Amino acid sequence: MLSFIVKRIFGIIPILLIVSVLSFMLIRLTPSDPIRIIYGNDLDKATYEKYRALEGFDDHVVVQYGRYLWNIVSQGDFGKSYRTKSDVAGQLMERGWSTAVLTMVAMGWAILFGLLAGIISATKRNTIWDRIGMVSTITALSVPEFWFGMVLVQVFSVQLGWLPSGGAGTWKHLLLPSLTLGLGVAAVIARFTRASVLEVLREDYVRTARAKGQKERVVVWSHVLRNALIPVVTMTGLQFGFLIGGASVVESVFAYPGLGALLVDSISSRDYPVVQALILLFSFQFLIVNLLVDISYGLLNPQIRYD
């Protein structure tokens, strides 16, 4: 297990290098001029050239990338924001915690509702509960997140006045955006869980357990879920990775001060150092989530070997 984890951690490094090269080069292929973004358009030629040399844009692009990478590795320095002139790393730390809390709460809702709906639908197949569960999941998958969020704001904030429509700081600020963010993931988990549980329910060892007279509740919780949850964990891990990257829409709808809203603001203002750092951060968290998913296999089923 330990050697597997070490190999996977070292395997993350080249992937992050590739992501950093691609993000660095692609942003420099855009037609915008970073000097005009930082200092404005009212620069004479001499001043423009002076600032261009000062910011290091006269250097070859390979030198610029090497300096960018070295600053990250040696000092954790992602540069300064074009828009706010503050350290990018500081902005990431300030916004990162808010997004982490939001996504964890959203994933908690998604796992709770998704697993319950999937298990109930599978164990009560072709009943009214199964139909309600599947219709609900299809509806949830069909509804755009921003529309669902706006409906929640209209009902619970504008009409009833129970919850704030935006901002952060209390559990009330988290409730509506986390439900909005977790809706689609809950639906995916429910459908995947239903299919996985149905497949395991047809296995011989499940029929044997039933033939021995074990109660259906014991069969499901002791024999079915352990094997059925392995593919669900894989899919849930991938959904968690997408959840963090896809929080931008929900954070914008609820004016939630997280990384997603920062990404939207940075792209619209062409704040490229922040965009580059966020691309690297989202890639890193996605790789870490996948590593944790692989490790969790062994916890669910100790018979799995990490060769």
Q: Yes or no: say if 118 and 198 are a contact pair by the CB < 8 Å rule.
A: no
Which positions ≥6 away from 123 have C-beta within 8 Å? 197, 201, 216, 220
Question: Contact at 8 Å (CB) between 76 and 86?
Answer: no
Are 185 and 243 spatial neighbours (Cβ–Cβ below 8 Å)? Answer: yes
Q: Which residues constitute the domain of residue 109?
A: 89-300
Can you give the pLDDT at residue 300? 64
Query: Which of 144, 119, 156, 120 lies closest to 232 in space, CA to CA?
Result: 119
- For residue 89, the tally of other CB atoms under 10 A from its CB is 17
Q: How many CB atoms lie within 10 A of CB 161?
A: 9
CB half-sphere exposure, 190, CA atoms < 13 A: 28
Whether 307 has a pLDDT exceeding 60, the answer reads no
Place of tokens 């982490």: 100
Give the residue-averaged pLDDT of 244-257. 82
Q: Provide the greatest CA pair distance for the chain.
A: 88
Q: What angle do CA 227, 230, 235 make, to 5 degrees?
A: 145
Considering the domain architecture, whether residues 154 and 239 belong to the same structural domain is answered as yes
Let me know if residue 80 belongs to a domain. Answer: no
Chosen domain end from 52, 75, 98: 75
Q: Is the pLDDT of residue 244 over 80?
A: no
The predicted model gives 282-296 an average pLDDT of 81
At 9, the amino acid letter reads I
Question: Do 28 and 115 lie in a common domain?
Answer: no
Q: Identify the top-confidence range among 112-116, 231-235, 297-301.
A: 112-116
The percent of residues in the chain predicted with pLDDT above 70, rounded, is: 95
* Per-residue pLDDT, 301: 63
pLDDT number for residue 95: 87
Q: Which of 12-21, 144-153, 230-239 has the lowest mean pLDDT?
A: 230-239
Q: Are residues 164 and 239 in the same domain?
A: yes
Query: Which DSSP state fits 222?
Result: I
Q: 88 with 166: CB under 8 angstroms?
A: no
Letter string b/e over residues 128-157, b meaning 16 or more CB atoms within 10 A of that residue's CB: eebeebbebbeebeebebeebbeebbeebb
28 by Cβ neighbours in 10 Å (0-12 / 13-18 / 19+) ranks as middle
For residue 80, the cross-strand partners are 87
Q: Tell me, what's the pLDDT at 216?
A: 78
In the predicted structure, residue 69 carries a pLDDT above the cut 70: yes
| 150 and 262 inside one domain | yes
Residue where a domain stops, chosen among 19, 43, 75: 75
pLDDT at 97: 87
H helix and E strand count, the chain: 14, 0
Q: What span, in angstroms and rounded, lies between the C-alpha atoms of 234 and 61?
A: 39
Q: What percent of the chain has pLDDT over 90?
A: 10
Cβ within 8 Å of residue 295, ≥6 positions away: 1, 5
Token couple for 220? 């499901």
Task: Give the N- to C-terminal CA distance of the chain in Å, as an integer.
Answer: 9
Q: Are residues 255 and 110 in the same domain?
A: yes
Tell which phi-psi region holds residue 259, choosing left (phi > 0), alpha (psi between -120 and 50) or beta.
Answer: alpha
At residue 80, φ and ψ (nearest 5 deg) are -115, 145
Which of 37, 53, 75 is a domain's end point? 75
pLDDT 10s digits, 122-170: 888 888 998 998 888 888 888 888 888 899 999 999 999 899 988 888 8
- Confidence grade of residue 208 (pLDDT, cut at 50, 70, 90): confident
Q: Regarding predicted confidence, which is higher, 132 or 293?
A: 132
Q: Greater confidence, 167 or 300? A: 167
pLDDT tens profile 96-106: 888 889 988 99
Look up the CATH number of the domain holding residue 174: 1.10.3720.10
* Spatial contact of 87 and 94, defined as CB atoms under 8 Å apart: no
Residues 124 and 180 placed together within one structural domain of the fold: yes
What's the domain count of the chain? 2
